Amino acid sequence: MQRYRQRSRYVEAAQITDEMFDAQHSSDLHIPGVVYDPVVRIARLPNGVYGFVGYWIVRDEDGRLTVWGDTLFNRRYQKRGGTVVRFAWRS
């Protein structure tokens, strides 16, 4: 996941790609807590929300996961930095 900013708030985000579904189970592409269905190409979050290829999975500073469509995500967030930076949040 990479770091993004919404005004003064930072989140981690990763866009759902076909590579996520094709990767091995323990791949670095997989986000902990997200279940990937390689047959129908959906990612299911622990709260039951689904995301499709092209959508974004966002984790806030408290560790909550949400899904955003590409258009809304790009309106709301700006990328900050090109490297992966992880929050020290509790699972």
Q: Where are the domains of the chain?
A: 2-74
As a whole number, mean pLDDT of residues 68-78 equals 88
As a whole number, mean pLDDT of residues 71-79 equals 86
Quick check: helix, strand or coil at residue 19? helix
Torsion sign, CA atoms 63, 67, 70, 72: negative
pLDDT number for residue 70: 92
Residues 6+ apart with CB under 8 A from 74: none
* pLDDT tops 80 at residue 27: no
Residues 6+ apart with CB under 8 A from 20: 27, 29, 30, 36, 43
**Paired tokens of 61:** 């500073």
Least confident of 13-17, 27-31, 41-45, 84-88: 84-88
* pLDDT tops 70 at residue 22: yes
